[in-house]
Structure 1
Amino acid sequence: MANIVIIGPVYPLRGGLATYNERLAKAFQEQGDTVEIITFSLQYPSFLFPGQTQYSTEAPPVNLQIKALINSVNPLSWVSTGLYLKKSRPDFIIFRFWLPFMGPAFGTIARLAAQNNYTRILALTDNAIPHEKRIGDVPFTKYFLSACQGFITMSRAVLQDLEKLQPNKPKVYHPHPLYDNFGEPEPKAEAIKALGLDPAYQYLLFFGFIRAYKGLDLLLEAFADERLQALPVKLIIAGEFYEDAQPYEQIIKKYNLEHRLVRATEFIPNSQVVHYFCAADLVVQPYKHATQSGVSQIAYHFNKPMLVTDVGGLAELIPDGKAGYVTAAQPQAIADALLDFYTRNREAKLVANIPELKKQFSWESMVSTMKQLAQSLAPHSGNSARS
């Protein structure tokens, strides 16, 4: 069995990264491994955080060993964390890397930890090239990536990016596992009732933090299509704005869409996720560019078909015509697919395909992939990782 450290957001921080990291830790524990999670005492300074709060209001996860040691803007915390890991000698460390801003902290910690000539350094890499460009992205990312021995990606697009940035280091692809920690599916009628929605309508779902690259504006433009206006369909927008809402409000006003929307534009707690997905007929991800999306893996868990745009790694996971639709990132293409879904009654056929398709997205397989990668890395001394 292995002694593993995961570094990244977890409780009391909120959001998809925290949810994933907690579920990954439990997956290792289910295999008999010892897991410690090191998270942030300060993840972002408040002036850099676009949402309402960084912190969860829900109960903490049970049976997880969590230490909040890292202050993202305090180098002293990076040094103390790195020295702690150097001394504690885990078999391998998995850094959850999603943003260049974390590069200096993570790169410093990784270098210090590796000085014990035993611990292997892995990166679970969401993005090698960020969705939204900022000053410092390139040097911060290079500083971190150069401190790692191996990489796991959840999209082939990121794998290709890493091949360019770190061509001589091992890297493996494994699709994002299912988010199976939001409860069991519930009947659509119960979910609609739980959300206080009108059962006379059918519902589309846009879910997650609202940022420019996620294409909510494309979906609103598509939803304004006069062919869709004739259908008893409403769009649920469930997620907090992480940018100025005004451009979206202008589209809503321009096309008089307000009466066709259900607004839930705040952070959706984990306990409510089941209702939003189970109330929907189709989950729509109209991204302008992307790597992978945890939203797809929530939809799969709840047996919901999806519409995704043909960008990044989204189409890898949602076979067109089987789990849903893959369209161009254009309002017309999105509108055509939505019209096809409702007028040709596609839901039942697509839902029937999902149970078989989602078998490939297991946590056990992800854990096995990570451990195999760690064991393939030559240790700096004669020691080898326990397994």
Structure 2
Amino acid sequence: MSENFVETVSAPQKTAWSKASVIIIGPAHPLRGGLASYDERLAKAFMDKGNDAAIYTFSYQYPSFLFPGTTQYSTEPAPENISIHVKINSVNPFNWINVGNELRKLRPDIIVVRYWLPFMGPCLGTILRRVKKNRHTKIICIADNIFPHEKRPGDKAFTNYFLKPIDGFITMSEKVLADLHQFAKGKPAKFVPHPLYDNFGEKISKEEAREKLNINLNDKVILFFGFIRKYKGLDILLNAMKLLKQNPSTQNIKLLIAGEFYEDEKNYQELLNDPLIKNNLILHTEFISDSMVKYYLCAADCVIQPYRNATQSGVTPLAYHFEIPMIVTNVGGLPSLVPDKKVGLIAEPNAESIAEKVKEYFDLGEEFFLSHLREEKKKYSWEVMVKTIIELLK
């Protein structure tokens, strides 16, 4: 085990609610991905306000049938000055009881637990039931999803089991808040937009980013970023590229695809190899490390999210942070986060509408959106998230 991971924690000093001891339960280093980055940034936000904060993460997170990627583990160094406890085994009930008992005795003032997948319901629900026996710790859930993107038997039962010990909820989209009300009536819940991912470095020039990625500075580039899964609609976007190619004013637009396949790549091969658009595709279909994120965002003229369905997206706060306008589809919580013709454009989830909005975006130009985007991004602070969690407990 790396020296970066703390296996035991001394009981934190108990203070007033404005200076609380906080445990975050969810993915964190050495695990990789957006959930891990979020939890690490949230811990920092609590500490910036003078709270004691640590993370309990997974020693075993997913069985292989739930993880189609190449690896669950990061090659990046552990974040500095954050206590990360690699403790939780998602499939071992004896582990759940042991971790729950440990946290019960530790008596943190607050536990913030992430919920994104019903599979985690039995594990997290059991841990939290043990914690509640101390009659002190308050538990807030940040619910990424209530209904999963890919449904499986047992989803409803697992979610119901998880929700019972929770004292209050934060959702990052209004759709998830509405879904939550079907399960957890009478418990306090608030919608807080996903804070900015400001832990991937500062914005760099388009020239520097494109030089790093070997992309021509004069190209018009739209970016599809993140894991490739069916609900994210990459196939719809590729069909939109075929329509753009047939229009003389848009035929030279390039699509940069940056992210690892989380389903069979064969489902996309025919579109990716279509001779009409093949030369307009820039393929970086591997996991994008944290240190490389800024290059992909800053190389783009526009970020595009052609999703079939969505609650919220971690790509949106990334685009806000790096001040890149967006085209998103009119599904789930995406339109409420991207005001139309201010921060970006709203398309319907079909190839014709997406192609039309890509053309409109370049007709309007990047400068049309930037002042609105910079003003809108002020809403998405980590301080608001921490403040809302504390207010829920009062």
TM-score by length of structure 1 reads 0.95
1:350 aligns with 2:360: no
1:252 aligns with 2:272: yes
- Percent identical among aligned pairs is 51
Q: 1:251: Cα distance to partner?
A: 1.9
Aligned to 2:253: 233
Aligned to 1:297: 317
Aligned to 2:343: 323
Aligned to 2:82: 64
> Deviations for 1:273-325, whole angstroms, at most 9, x for unmatched residues?
11101010000001110001110000000110000001110111100000001
CA distance in 2, matches of 1:188, 1:228: 25
Equivalent residue in structure 1 for 2:94, among 76, 83, 94: 76
> Deviations for 1:82-126, whole angstroms, at most 9, x for unmatched residues?
001111111111110000010000000010000011111111000
Structure of higher RCO (CA pairs closer than 8 Å, 6+ residues apart): 1
Q: 1:229: Cα distance to partner?
A: 7.7
CA distance in 2, matches of 1:305, 1:228: 23
Deviating more after overlay: 44-53 vs 126-135: 44-53
Aligned to 1:373: 392
CA distance in 2, matches of 1:91, 1:304: 38
> Deviations for 1:221-277, whole angstroms, at most 9, x for unmatched residues?
111111278532210000000001122111233463221100000000011011101
CA distance in 2, matches of 1:229, 1:72: 52
1:115 aligns with 2:133: yes
* Equivalent pair of 2:303/2:326 in contact (CA under 8 Å): yes
Deviating more after overlay: 349-358 vs 330-339: 349-358
State the AA in 2 paired with 1:369.
T
3-state DSSP class of the match of 1:121?
strand
* Equivalent pair of 1:213/1:289 in contact (CA under 8 Å): yes
Aligned to 2:124: 106
1:85 aligns with 2:103: yes
State how 1:1-387 maps to structure 2 within 5 Å: 1-225=19-243, 226-227=246-247, 230-254=250-274, 256-342=276-362, 344-375=363-394
3-state DSSP class of the match of 1:223?
helix
CA distance in 2, matches of 1:207, 1:48: 21
State the AA in 2 paired with 1:207.
F
State the AA in 1 paired with 2:388.
T
CA distance in 2, matches of 1:159, 1:328: 23
Aligned to 2:12: none
> Any gaps of 5 or more consecutive residues in structure 1?
376-387
> Deviations for 1:111-153, whole angstroms, at most 9, x for unmatched residues?
0000011111111000011111012111111100122111100
3-state DSSP class of the match of 1:117?
coil
Give me the CA root mean square deviation: 1.1
State the AA in 1 paired with 2:109.
D
Deviating more after overlay: 321-330 vs 40-49: 40-49
Q: 1:345: Cα distance to partner?
A: 3.6
CA distance in 1, matches of 2:248, 2:41: 38
State the AA in 2 paired with 1:339.
K
Q: 1:48: Cα distance to partner?
A: 3.2
* Equivalent pair of 1:188/1:279 in contact (CA under 8 Å): yes
CA distance in 2, matches of 1:230, 1:353: 25
Distance 1:149 1:235, change over 3 A: same
Q: 1:199: Cα distance to partner?
A: 2.4
* Equivalent pair of 1:228/1:335 in contact (CA under 8 Å): no
> Deviations for 1:64-93, whole angstroms, at most 9, x for unmatched residues?
011111000011110001001111111111
CA distance in 1, matches of 2:73, 2:369: 37
CA distance in 2, matches of 1:163, 1:138: 13
CA distance in 2, matches of 1:36, 1:61: 12
CA distance in 2, matches of 1:341, 1:122: 40
CA distance in 1, matches of 2:249, 2:128: 54
Distance 1:4 1:336, change over 3 A: same
Deviating more after overlay: 35-44 vs 192-201: 192-201
3-state DSSP class of the match of 1:262?
strand
Aligned to 1:385: none
* Equivalent pair of 2:110/2:137 in contact (CA under 8 Å): yes
* Equivalent pair of 1:224/1:255 in contact (CA under 8 Å): no
> Any gaps of 5 or more consecutive residues in structure 2?
1-18
CA distance in 2, matches of 1:154, 1:255: 40
3-state DSSP class of the match of 1:87?
helix
Distance 1:141 1:332, change over 3 A: same
